[in-house]
Amino acid sequence: MKQHRWFLLVIVLVISSMSLEACSFTFQALPTPLSSENFSTSPSFIPSATQASILPIAMETSTPPTAFLASETPTLISIRADTIPMLEVVNNFDLKEVVRSLAFTRDGNVLAAAGGNDQDFAIRVWDAVNGQSLAELKGHAGIVWEVAFSPDGQLLASVSSDQSAKVWDWRSRTLLTSLDFPGQVVSVSFSPDGQTLAVGGVDEPQNQIQNASVWTFSVGSWKPLLKVHEYLNVTALAYSPDDRWIVGGGTSRNVQVWRASDGTSVFTLNHAHQVSKAAISPDSSTVATATCQTTVNDVCTEGGVWLWDLLTGKLVQKLGGFPDTVESAAFSADGSTLIAASRDGRLRFYNTSDYPSIFELSVPDGISAMTVSPDGGFLATGSVNGQVQLWKIVYHP
């Protein structure tokens, strides 16, 4: 009997032990499920490879489609076809007289403006991000027609009616060199690789014909490299982004396309009237020329932008309908948008897919100069009363 009781006791102990192990196993096999409170959808949430499948759900419900995620240094929303309606003026700067030219550094952080009419020929430089004045460069004795930054942002070149082109170390406010010319020089551009400076302007007359030229110089030594010929004056001057072509001309109603390597003339782009400026698309396929396309009694009654195939030299399209001369044209950094600014203050945006007008703004004091930062973050306009307006895309949730 005692043995039977002992045997029953052993069986009970064995069964109890097995029950405890089963409970323990069950507890380990059922992890606590994630609640919605524990799942992070913040912009700083970075998924691992195994979490990637759930990321789109979180991101789609937490991030607006046109917003940029915040960072320690705020990232600007690029000016492009789908963001243009959010373009706003975010700062104003002042020149004492007419704004003739505006230029950004490649990163868009610095803006330079120049112009003048009777007496104020200083070049002013600002921090585009916070509006701080960085430099005031004095040295020209006449109207400063155009300014341009080198690709690395270290140098600023300027051209003037005082028949000189000057190159500045704008950070130290130091004049590095001054190049002299036979007449006023009105356009300037650095090559995309930063090795060459091109200057356009009035040359010495020959046989009662007013000549114009584009001169190129080696950056650093400032030794002359090439000289290519035009007529009257060269108001429009640009290097193609692929560094193959120099486009220049304007007052003669012609715009020439030269091979940058040796100055060979490849095409002549003929216009009905003078050309103010020229812009080349980021892929180097298209030239946009700002012009007046219709006049009555020498008064412009319709401005326009003409589009040219840079590979063939053929006219592709005319974009008209401006009440006055188009002073400037520029492509957005991504190439999706062409921006045209007319003297009357019209700022018109075209989608470059087939160039329909997609948006339009009006600047009350008119526009005498316009440019877009190479990084696509800012747009700047200038007027005859000396006002510079800085624009950027502002997202309002």
In this predicted model, what pLDDT tens digit does every residue of 380-389 receive, in sequence order?
A: 999 999 999 9
Check if the beta carbon of residue 272 is closer than 8 Å to that of residue 253: yes
Q: What is the pLDDT of residue 119?
A: 86
CA distance 315 to 368: 26
Higher pLDDT: 172 or 27? It is 172
Closest CA to 331 of 277, 292, 293, 383: 277
Q: What is the pLDDT of residue 24?
A: 38
Mean pLDDT computed over 119-136: 96
pLDDT for 143 beyond 70: yes
Fold (topology level) of 84-393? Methylamine Dehydrogenase; Chain H (2.130.10)
Looking at residue 135, its amino acid is A
Q: Dump pLDDT digits (tens) for 346-362.
A: 999 999 999 999 999 99
Mean pLDDT computed over 184-205: 97
CA distance 108 to 372: 9
CA distance 95 to 93: 7
Task: Give the pLDDT band of residue 363 (cuts 50, 70, 90).
Answer: very high
Q: What is the pLDDT of residue 3?
A: 45
In this structure, the dihedral spanned by the alpha carbons of residues 89, 91, 95 and 100, taken in order and rounded to 10 degrees, is -40
For 105-181, strand residue ranges (E) read 110-115, 123-127, 133-137, 144-149, 155-160, 164-169, 174-180
- Give the full edge-to-edge strand order of the sheet including 133-137: 99-104, 110-115, 123-127, 133-137
Task: Give the pLDDT band of residue 74 (cuts 50, 70, 90).
Answer: low
**21 φ, ψ (degrees, to nearest 5):** -65, -40
Task: Give the pLDDT band of residue 41 (cuts 50, 70, 90).
Answer: very low
Instruction: Give, as one character, the DSSP assignment of residue 37.
Output: G
Task: Give the pLDDT band of residue 316 (cuts 50, 70, 90).
Answer: very high
Closest CA to 355 of 329, 381, 376, 382: 329
Q: 368 to each of 102, 256, 387, how far by Cα in Å?
A: 10, 24, 10
Query: Percentage helix, strand, coil, to 5, in the chain?
Result: 10, 45, 40
Domain range summary for the chain, segments of one domain joined by +: 84-393
Task: Give the pLDDT band of residue 56 (cuts 50, 70, 90).
Answer: very low
Task: Give the pLDDT band of residue 202 (cuts 50, 70, 90).
Answer: very high
Tokens found for residue 332: 């957005």
Closest CA to 250 of 263, 223, 269: 269
pLDDT for 49 beyond 60: no
Q: 302 to each of 14, 249, 292, 371, how far by Cα in Å?
A: 102, 21, 6, 22
Q: Which residues pair with 258 in a beta bridge?
A: 246, 265
Q: 231 to each of 158, 165, 172, 217, 267, how far by Cα in Å?
A: 21, 19, 37, 20, 15
CA distance 9 to 45: 58
Q: What is the pLDDT of residue 110?
A: 97
Higher pLDDT: 3 or 265? It is 265
CA distance 246 to 138: 29
